[in-house]
Amino acid sequence: MGLYLSACNSSQHSPEAAAITVTDVRGNKVALQKPAEKIVCLFDPMVDAIYMLQMQHKLVGIPAETYTDPQLFVPYSLIDERVKHKSLATPGTNETANLESILALRPDLVIAQHMSAGSIQSLQAMGIAVYLASSEKYEQVLKELEDVGLLTGASNRAGELIAYTKQQFDTMQSAASALAEKKKAYFSWANGRIFATTGRNSMMNDCLEFAGVTNVCTAPVDQPNINAETLISWNPDMIVMWNDPADLFYAKNELAGISAIKNKAIYNLMPMFFYNPHTLKSLTAAVRIQGWATGQDTAASLEAVKKMIITYYGTSTGNQLITLL
């Protein structure tokens, strides 16, 4: 362990001496003397970002959910043999980290969403840099992609992805601003939670706004829970679901009078991997919602999404992924 401590200490430096320094979501300075070569990433959106940056070869550890959640395992196993054969280590989940397992992998960078101050200090004491991410809002997603680009030596690629995303969203925002009237949309999260929606302080709300629709929920929180009476009073023109069947709404007789249900204007963002609002794929989610709201041909909307996936992951990986759409 003493040899490991010496080796690790050479990779992390004080912010003043480091060649690479970024500030994470908690305000912690993260410093590296050179781009990370071995990365443990325990936060799904950041794993996704690393694949978009084409730095997946640096991953030595990923969240356990990558193997247990089909929505993650299927696409990643298609583009990474290590995931397919479950040979990449899983030293934790999106919520927890196993320090002993992380240390055994000898990373020079750990990326996570949740980690206690004590765990961070323990890793830092071993010379391992720790970067915490949240991916909660559009600007945060862009900032974290830029940071991870710096930490992995993929700044140019990160810059290209950010510029592309901003340009696409600017175009959508201009189109949304020109609308004389916007449809009212209700969003519901997955796993049968049709009364769990998205408030105004959320990434999905950003998607709805970019798509040119109005979120019927005005609560200033991320994921509020409502009841049938509230949904009826909102009377949305369309409903966007997160990977659940529309029958969950159609089966409830008390909701039959809602415009979206009467007009069968219920739409589904699936497979979930391609529309994760906590990644740059908030763009693809917004594109599909915009298409549904404006009556765009489904094939045309899906084709636009496929082109974006190829841009985000590169030609080879992107073309593999879109076989799932």
CATH topology classification for 2-152: Rossmann fold (3.40.50)
Q: Does 121 score more than 80 pLDDT?
A: yes
pLDDT in the model for residue 12: 54
pLDDT in the model for residue 243: 86
Query: CB-based contacts of 205: which residues, under 8 Å, 6+ apart?
Result: 198, 199, 215
Tokens linked to 84: 């397919």
Q: Does 4 score more than 60 pLDDT?
A: no
Q: Does 193 score more than 50 pLDDT?
A: yes
Could you give the residue range(s) of every CATH 3.40.50.1980 domain in the chain?
2-152, 177-324
Tokens linked to 48: 């996704």
In this predicted model, which residue has the larger pLDDT, 105 or 1? 105
Query: CB-based contacts of 299: which residues, under 8 Å, 6+ apart?
Result: none
* 155 in Cβ contact with 149 (< 8 Å): yes
pLDDT category, 8, cuts 50, 70, 90? very low
Average pLDDT in the chain: 94
CATH topology classification for 177-324: Rossmann fold (3.40.50)
Cα(325)–Cα(307) distance, integer angstroms:
12
* 189-204: average pLDDT: 94
Q: Does 3 score more than 50 pLDDT?
A: no
pLDDT category, 7, cuts 50, 70, 90? very low
pLDDT in the model for residue 2: 41
